[in-house]
Structure 1
């Protein structure tokens, strides 16, 4: 376990974690933002055109919730206050009842695509919630804690909605506190996660979601490990699409595209040239490569130095425009 105060590991990779976990957790809820859309929203506060406002709100809520966990690493725990506030942050401005964020539900709910019906009696929901917190707190192994809450919170459905999102971020509580690599659900297929949760709901079986958890954590740990360059074999997906990745990234840079234009170009390219089964993964991979492109590694692509410099100025200008203070302050509203 890395040394340092609780949350040090997550704090050191916070900007990357905010994008990875916000995007992947939202994607598992059907959010239509791309990775680049998410990066632009988090870094610049710029919403993507043509997307539902709820998609932007969901991602911004994730950002706020992740920052809460990392900044409060020394005090967060599997206790009522932490979980209720985590839900309040994730559900902000997304539920019909403005009192619902941060409050246990008081009525029955159903699960889309499942015949499972969670508890409906408020007293039993409250008791079940407290039992989950007590059991999670008693577990000593951080990975077992993470898997336990990832399974048990959605099964109980303690909140009106946003339960799975709470469970995915709550799974990171012991990892953040103990300075372990966080779980950001990198590359987790929607279908695998959904099937794993349906197995829990309808069959009371955890074997599939456990496999998803272990696979997802390995991917996340690989991403964040300091020695990642020396681990494992080359990614076979990147190897298979090496030529097309080089071509599409070079086109973005040669065209001096900003982040909005780049996201649109990559999506259009993938739709025209990549098989449907590989399309989402290709888009994520290309956008990840662009986000990691800098003056020390652009030679991996057929990019002229002058083109790289021009493109980098476009991306840097976006950040400066967002960061520049307004010329005139707003008048106080009374």
Structure 2
């Protein structure tokens, strides 16, 4: 009895042929599907598709090409738009190479060949000589990402749009990990400290961790660069309260890990892992083009898996470091289909091929630019007074909280730093009072205050106020 061919296998083949509007020959198809099926199996399935009138033949002999059959007399045109499968899965536009990777990754796990870390994948890359992003593509991305702050101090543009960036990137990056917070829920949590009802506490923690990590990158651009300290710090922020072993937070792992749903086996030896982590970061720091640098980090940090968990989140935020430092539009991952991103990463893990992840990266960056061009046009000019006394403001807020003082004009006057000019002190008091009105446990980190520290101060001043009212 002949073996039944699954509809999924045929759909995958149709999808690959659809990437070639002018048709594709059997030799090219056989190369693309070599890891999936034999040439004879491919020929049988092509015959089935021709019989079903889903694919048509053109030409004769060795010049025969396969094309998607017209539907109701209308030709199928491959456009740069979202690809929607029969199951309504939204994807990103893929290159022919990306489609090949996707076809392989979509096979059942049992049919994919187990692989380990290949150091030659890293060795083949030479900063500023090797490029994952072709020159024409890099030029296109530079035009898209340019901001009005391009000639200003590093990090200016990211600081100008910080609130919007924290919400967008925290939500989108968390969603790629399966977080079910909506964008509105995320906005309420970040802006007002309101956790969404019915959500797991770990989901709330994941969002707040992203917020803290993004603030760190944007507010400390002088020190937050492409270096080992920053990458480790990002892991510390992003994994806070999420790992079974708290000691693994901000540390290179010292035991083997598995990748769920993948046949890839990362390096297990801690000494080798630490050595390669250093090499990856040094190589990344030497890359001059910010887009190439960002994509290199998105490829090699997850591939190495230097941390016990949270590696992909670290890579997504690390990819934003060059954009922040060059005042380019940030990469928020807004609207990126989860499956497309996962497939792209699996393509790196199992095939050491970057084309599908590159398709996702380019689409995601174009989408981010569309978002932030509109934001850029409506930027409110910065408060120069607040900028001038930013450090003094931090000193005053910290002094009030750590001193256990209530918020009042009198208490604030006792905390005014000597750096505030005499003529500016009245306005400075108003600035501090305004800042406290919007301060909560979720955003107190901006002043170096931990959420628990702020909450204890808030509870203490509330109890003190209650005692005074009873006694009065």
Assess same fold via TM > 0.5. Answer: yes
1:123 counterpart residue number:
271
Q: Confirm or deny: 8 A CA contact 1:22 1:59 kept in the other structure.
A: yes
1:113 counterpart residue number:
261
How far off its partner does 1:187 sit?
A: 1.0
Query: What SS does the aligned partner of 1:99 have?
Result: helix
How far off its partner does 1:326 sit?
A: 5.7
| 1:99 is the counterpart of 2:231 | no
Q: 1:329 aligns with which of 455, 461, 466?
A: 461
2:186 counterpart residue number:
38
Q: 1:13 aligns with which of 156, 161, 179?
A: 161
1:241 counterpart residue number:
none
Partners of 1:57 and 1:201 lie apart in 2 by 28
Partners of 1:91 and 1:227 lie apart in 2 by 30
Partners of 2:182 and 2:314 lie apart in 1 by 21
How far off its partner does 1:30 sit?
A: 0.2
Partners of 1:327 and 1:155 lie apart in 2 by 45
Q: 1:192 aligns with which of 314, 328, 340?
A: 340
Partners of 1:70 and 1:204 lie apart in 2 by 32
Partners of 1:91 and 1:57 lie apart in 2 by 9
Partners of 1:154 and 1:209 lie apart in 2 by 12
Which is helix-richer, 1 or 2?
A: 1
User: Once the two structures are superposed, what CA deviation does each residue of 1:286-316 show, in whole Å capped at 9, x if it has no partner?
Assistant: xxxxxxxxxxxxxxxxxxxxxxxxxxxxxxx
Q: Confirm or deny: 8 A CA contact 1:222 1:228 kept in the other structure.
A: no
How far off its partner does 1:77 sit?
A: 1.6
How far off its partner does 1:101 sit?
A: 0.8
1:51-130 paired onto structure 2 within 5 Å: 51-130=199-278
1:93-242 paired onto structure 2 within 5 Å: 93-225=241-373
Q: Confirm or deny: 8 A CA contact 2:228 2:281 kept in the other structure.
A: yes
Query: What SS does the aligned partner of 1:38 have?
Result: helix
Partners of 2:266 and 2:273 lie apart in 1 by 9
Partners of 1:94 and 1:192 lie apart in 2 by 25
How far off its partner does 1:185 sit?
A: 0.3
Higher relative contact order (CA 8 A, sep 6+): 1
Partners of 1:200 and 1:322 lie apart in 2 by 43
Long gaps (5+) in structure 2:
1-145, 378-436, 441-456, 465-472
How far off its partner does 1:75 sit?
A: 1.9
Q: Confirm or deny: 8 A CA contact 2:166 2:211 kept in the other structure.
A: yes
1:24 counterpart residue number:
172
User: Once the two structures are superposed, what CA deviation does each residue of 1:6-52 show, in whole Å capped at 9, x if it has no partner?
Assistant: 11000000000000000000000000100111001001111111110
Query: What SS does the aligned partner of 2:313 have?
Result: helix
Long gaps (5+) in structure 1:
230-319
How far off its partner does 1:4 sit?
A: 1.1
Partners of 1:224 and 1:322 lie apart in 2 by 26
1:244 counterpart residue number:
none
Q: Confirm or deny: 8 A CA contact 2:173 2:332 kept in the other structure.
A: yes
Partners of 2:363 and 2:197 lie apart in 1 by 34
TM-score, normalisation: structure 1: 0.69
Q: What is the aligned-residue RMSD (CA, Å)?
A: 2.3
Q: Confirm or deny: 8 A CA contact 1:8 1:179 kept in the other structure.
A: yes
Q: Confirm or deny: 8 A CA contact 2:161 2:375 kept in the other structure.
A: no
Aligned residues: 243
Runs of at least 4 residues off by over 3 Å: 226-229, 320-323, 325-328
